[in-house]
Structures are given as C-alpha cells and as structure tokens.
Chain A
Amino acid sequence: MSKLDGWELVIGLEVHCELRTATKLFCGCPNMFGDEPNTNVCPVCLGLPGSLPVINRQAVEFAMRIGAALNCSIEPSTFHRKNYFYPDMPKDYQVSQYDEPINVGGYLELPDGFRVGIERAHMEEDTGKTMHAGGDGRIHGSSHSLVDYNRSGVPLVEIVSAPDMRSSAQARAYVAELRAILVAIGASDGRMEEGSLRADANVSVRRPGEPLGTRCEIKNVNSLRSLGRSIEYEAARQVDLITAGEKVQQQTRHWDDANGRTITGRTKEEAEDYRYFLEPDLVPLAPDAAWITTVRGSLPALPAERRGRVAAAAGAEPASQAVVTVVDLELDDLVCAAVAAGADGRIALARASNEVAANVDAGRRLDAGAFASLVKLEAGGGLTATQAKTVLGELLETGGGDPAAIAAARGFEAMDSNALDATIDEIIAAHSDEWARYREGDPKMAGFFVGLVMKATQGKADGKAVNAALQDRLKPA
C-alpha cells in the first residue's frame, strides 16, 4: 500500500537545455564545459560597464529547431530583463524571454503514446557557477563562495511543460524522451551529469476530482534517478502535511540527494519582484516564413519515428525496452539495414540491443553488411546463439570483416543433430544418478547436463537445443 494511494500527483517540468553552439548567446566567448575558471569571459559575459549583447544566430536556429521538434508554433519574440541580485549573475539581471517567447503551444509524445503539453520553450542566458567554501560544500554553513563566469552567457532554451504528468515514472519518461529529441536534433549533448540538461519539477497533490493543490518547485535534480526519487519524496511530504491538517506552502525546495529529501530554500519575507521590462539593448526576433519552413524541414527523424520504423522492421513493440534502447543508442539504422538485407529482424534487434549496445562506440562503426551476414548465419542455424555472440564480439573489435570467415577460423560450426543426440545419450548413460534427479525435477541438473554436453562438444552445441533435447527425453518413449 503506497502512501500515495487515493491521491493524484500533478507534475509539471521545466527543463533547461544548454545549446550546442560554439559561442555564447550574446558574445563570442567559447561555449565550453570544463575549462579553467574565468578563461572564457569578455566584457559582455562579465557584465563589464559599457558592454552590449548581440544575439548568436545559431542559438536562434537551435531554439527554432526545438520548437519545431516539440510541435510548437514559432513566433516573433522579444527579450526582457529579469532583475535580481545574485553573484552568479554578472549584470544582476538575466536576459530572458517573458510574455513573447519564441515557441509556444506544442506537445511531446511519450513512447507509450501519452501526450504531455508544452506551454512554451524560450531563450535565455545561463548564469555563472558558484562554489561554496568553508563548510561541506553546501550553501548552508559556508563561509564564502567562489564564482566562475565561464558558463555565464551560455545559451539556454527553457522548456516548460503543462502540468500533465501524473507519476514520477511519467516524469522520467518525459525527460528521457525530451533528452533523446534534443540530442537527435543536435541542439544538446544531453549530458545531464555535466549540467547541460537540468530539470526542475513542480509537484502538487490532490484528491481526484478536486482542484489543483499548492505546488512546490524542486530544484537541483541532476539525473533521471534523482528526478524520480525527489518527486516521490515531495509528493509523500505533501500528503503527510495535508493528512496532518496542515497546508502545503508554495515554495522552492532543493533536492538533497545524499539524504534523500527535499529541503526548503531560504524563507523570504516577500516574493521576488523581478521588475520585468523589455531589454533595451536588443531588438525583436521575427524569423521569416522561409527560415521557419527551412528549420521545420531540416529536422532529422525524431526518436518516436525511429522507434516506429525499427519496431516495424523487427516485428517488435515500439515501446519495448529493446526498441527504446537501440534508438536511444542510435543503433536502429544498423537493425533496419540488416532487415533490408534480408536478415531476421527479431535476431537483429536482440543482438543490437544486447551485445552491440554493450559496446556502443564500436557498434556505431560496425559495418552494416557484416552485421547482416552474421544475423543471417545465426538465423539459418549455421551458428548457435553463443557462437554468434562470440563472432559479433570480434566484429565489434575490428569494425567489420567476414563473419563466416571468423567463424571458420574459430572452428565454429553448428553441431548436426544426430551427433548431438549421440553425445547426449552417452552422457546420460554415464551419469545415471544425476539423470534420475533431473527426471525428478531437480533444477540444478539441467545446468549440469548442459555443461557436460557443451564441454564434450567443445562449445559447438547450441544451449537451447541441448535443453530441448534433454526435455524430449523426459517424455515417455
């Protein structure tokens, strides 16, 4: 019985995506993670007196691509200043988009077909990074902080979903799918662990049918796992409060991963007044119809479409783990090429989502023709599954080659069934006690016999075939 039974979770997500441009949003400093602090800065991104912003065309292109991929309307837009004081903000205002964002009104479809509404996806600049010193690294208890402005001015698109999600699993699926889309269109490198994709969750609870409850925003979530855990924790926390007769206060809470809880931020006497006004140092964006059409037309196949394609080729479900895995790892083309060459789709998908997936970098370099040949060998019985996996391992290492030649070099060939039967009979005869226990259903005995058969045949037998043969001998003669 979950504490949340009888309660409905309402979840909206705000995902910040750092764009994969060469330079920052308003200046020509490199957009680069991991460089020495304060080496990628200039008058503009340091907020020096007299500096002025000029918008990066590529950032606009990526923002439009994101809007197109999320089925948004791409609109003329303006930039506003969001005014507040914080040391990671060199101008003590952030340039963002307020009431006229570049993308509005779209949706994202989860692999299972559930649609999450996208309210807007707007452009803004990233802040610098602060490190807290003198304590345990957190703000509370620190004696001073250190600021690096390399990240200040990096272009972001903030994607705001409608509060359509109803479970932490859906929230995770949303972020996973969004990430896959952003990577597919080239807008992001998807590295959540480096902070290039950051998710804040707005969570509230209510009894079904009742109006929306007060929501809290959870920040500082750095992985899909933390996203799930933090949402579960926060929902339970709110249920506890309401059940105890207390009110949920609207606030921003931070996810403390080490201790598995959300903690309240600084309590403020008054809500922040950002005093938004139109950024006078910039002029509006109004992409013309031709540019918009070009952007929409230049999108590559998105993950949903690719999953559908490889699922159809392999005879699998689009939402199945194997399909999701191969598309996620960009191995779907390999599978589709194998099928197109006449190989068995089910086996191609299985090998791709397991063995090739385990060695993705090599898998992306793997020669499609070699892969197709290998699948055909296995499908046609020329190789056992075990043998095929071994050959595949070698193919991955070398990036190609002739599977048949590799198999021959290793002395692989499928065992013909008569020889196999004979071998099995010999072994059974030599181990009558163990056979008796096998007949009685001792589960360990199957492995015992399969092991002996494999040893006797020097691995040439196919494990499944051996099991089947043993089972056959259980039937009355």
Chain B
Amino acid sequence: MSTEHTTDHPTPSQYWKIAVVLAVLTAIEVSLFYINRELELGPLNAVLLISLALLKFVIVVGWYMHLRFEKSLLSRFFTAGFLLASGCYLVVLSALGIVVIRGG
C-alpha cells in the first residue's frame, strides 16, 4: 500500500534538515515580533509573519505529510478545504467590518 512509494520519500537526514529549516523560520518569526515592537513595521510585519507561517505550513504539508509525493486527488481535496475556509471566512470577517490584516 502506502509503503510502495517509500523510495520517493525523503530520507531521515532530509527530515532533520527540514526540521532545522522549520526551527530557523520559527526563530525569525519570534524575532520579528520583537523587532516590530521596537521599529513599528506596520503592515509589513503582518505580511512577513503570515508569509513565514504559510511557508512553514507548506513545508509540513508537502514533506512531513508527504502530500508532494501523493496522488494529486489528495492535494485537490486538501486545497479545496483550505481555500473554501479562507474564502468564506474572509468574506464573513469583512462583512463584519474586521480588518483582517493588522500590522501590530
């Protein structure tokens, strides 16, 4: 079954490297929080933080959850759920008058 695809999958050492990348990204996120406190980056802060979170999100989904290596049907389902949720709730939030991106 699923083990048939193992050859395409990353090796443990690659998993460790990915973890290092994730850790560095998290460190950047946390330092951005403090940099923003001093420098008042405004909307840039939000843009950077959300991009970093999305990057981590994609890395975990793509490699740790192996979605990159699976049949495309699975990523279609998964992306559909993500996009539908983002779209609907963005509309709800804007209809309720909430500015979604707040620059700290």
A binds B: no
Question: Interface of A with B (CB < 8 Å)?
Answer: none
Question: Interface of B with A (CB < 8 Å)?
Answer: none
